[in-house]
Structure 1
Amino acid sequence: MDVRVLGGGPTEPFLSAQGLFETEYDLSKPVRVRVRRDPDERTWTGHYPDHHVLNISAQAATSAMSRELALHEYAHMRRNEEAHPSHTQSTAEAIYIGLAGRRVEQRKLTHCYQIANHMKDIYADDITLSVAPADKLVSFLEASLAAALADRPHDPPRGHRLTPASDPDITAVNAAFALALVERHDLVAPDHRLYDLAHAAADDAPGVPLERFKHHFETLADDPDESEYRKALVDVTRRYAVETGQAAD
């Protein structure tokens, strides 16, 4: 596994993540880490015929989560190389199938892509959590959900949101994802604060069945074929955009 850090960023987090990753897995293509100056640059991975690119902000590359972020992206690269359906299935195609004949709010459509990313993350973190401690990830999930709840609007969203406040509907789905991930890997006790936060998120979005979304994420098959994965993605798209009461025929 060949990892090279470009852009003048720190190398230690990426090499440390490489060491953990290589205890169980490997990548056939080299990895180029590009550290960006923009503090708002999200961590994301590009896949090319002869290499992978990990894009990350300098702020994230020097944060306490830098090693864990790198390890998570290496896991996405692994899923891509092994042609796992979660990383080869066209998200746009599945959403189109799920919403065929429907009119859907733009915010809901955007959320459907985020939900599809959660499904990819489940499979990436199946790898991540097999080689690294979960403490930082659990703390990150807890902090992220707490921040979203603190930023929630006082009234339910109507039409296009004009403020940066968190959307209660997708916050509830994010909470379902967090619970699904920790339960899938038995990471926390039933009295962990994450459950209180998730229930608060569910209370803010009564039209979003938290338990149903949690079950969907938690029970994703380890090794689905393309048809099985497409069906899972189509089903959750339709469930969120059509069955949660905000879409219109």
Structure 2
Amino acid sequence: MDVRLRGDGPVDPFLGAASLFETEHDLDLPVHVRVRGNPEERTWAGHYDDRHVLNISRKAATSAMARELALHEFAHMARYEEGHPSHVQSTDEALFLALSGHSIERRRLAHCYQIANHMKDIYADDITLSVGPAGKLVTFFESQLAAAVADRPREHHHPDSRLLTGATDPDITAVNAAFALAMCDRHDLVASDHRLYDLAHAAADDAPEVDLPAFRRLFRSLAADPTESEHRKALVEATRLYAVDADGSGDGPAAAD
């Protein structure tokens, strides 16, 4: 696995992540790590014909989560190289199928993209958690969800994190809580009395129109190796559950292929 650091930043977290990743997986293309100065910039992966690019802020690159963030992005790259539907299918197409004939607020549309990203993250972290320890990820879920529940803004803010953010509105915070619980369910990460469950209950109370248990079930039950049709249907279902089903029942008709 070829990892090349671009810019001024620590090397050890990325080499450490590569060593863990290589115990079970590999990448065909080299990875260029770009450490950026903007502390608020999220960590994300770009894919090109001749390389992958891991973009990360200096703040994140020097944090206690640096190795885990890098490992997560390597997993996204692996999903992209294998042509996993979650990483190569058009999100726009699925959202168009789900929302055709409906008018929704701009903020809710932005949240639909966040939900699609959660589904990508689930498949990436299925790899991440197969090669690396889960403790820091659970702590990250807990701290970020606690911050979001404690910070109940009066105005709406778009989420800008790979997982969970503080200062988000209650609706997307509830979905984020469902995502965190679903990841714990999929990989049996926490006991039933973990604080995450109390935080998720508080998030659900703040967003009565969001069916948190339904999102948790949907995220938890995503097939490990879906067909393109299966993944499209899951994304359409998640979008409709959030943006269309006023009562949060999630029982609307499935999109046609």
Unaligned runs of 5+ in 2: 159-165, 249-257
2:218 matched residue in structure 1: 216
2:157/2:168 contact within 8 Å kept: no
Shift of 1:202: 0.2
Q: Aligned partners of 1:186 and 1:71: how far apart in 2? A: 20
Deviates more, 1:185-194 or 1:237-246: 237-246
Please, what TM-score do these two structures have when normalized by structure 1? 0.94
Rounded Cα–Cα distance in structure 2 between residues aligned with 1:140 and 1:231:
30
Sequence identity (%): 69
1:166: how far off? Answer: 2.2
Q: Cα offset for 1:40?
A: 1.1
Match of 1:126 in 2: 126
User: Which residue of the partner structure matches residue 202 of structure 1?
Assistant: 204
- Is 1:4 aligned to 2:4, yes or no? yes
Query: 1:244 & 1:90 partners in 2: Cα distance?
Result: 25
Query: 1:12, 1:55 → 2: CA distance?
Result: 16
Q: For 1:46, what is the secondary structure of its paired residue?
A: strand
Residue aligning to 2:81: 81
Q: What are the ranges of 5 or more consecutive residues in structure 1 without an aligned counterpart?
A: none
1:104 aligns with 2:104: yes
1:221 maps to a residue whose letter is: A
Distance 1:196 1:40 in 2: 28
Which residue is 2:252 aligned to?
Answer: none
Question: Structure 2-normalised TM-score?
Answer: 0.91
Mapped to 1, the partners of 2:247 and 2:39 lie a distance apart of 36
Cα distance in 2 for partners of 1:131, 1:243 equals 38
Deviations 1:50-77 (Å, cap 9, x if unpaired)? 1000000000000000000000000000
1:143 equivalent in alignment to 2:139: no
Name the SS for the 1:238 alignment partner: helix
Note the C-alpha offset of 1:41.
1.3
Offset, 1:33? 0.1
| Residue of structure 2 equivalent to 1:117 | 117
How far apart are 1:188 and its partner, in Å?
A: 0.2
The structure with higher relative contact order (CA 8 Å, sep 6+) is 1
Cα drift, residue 245 of structure 1: 5.6
Residue 70 of structure 2 corresponds to 70
CA distance in 1, matches of 2:53, 2:246: 37
Distance 1:20 1:64 in 2: 16
Match of 1:193 in 2: 195
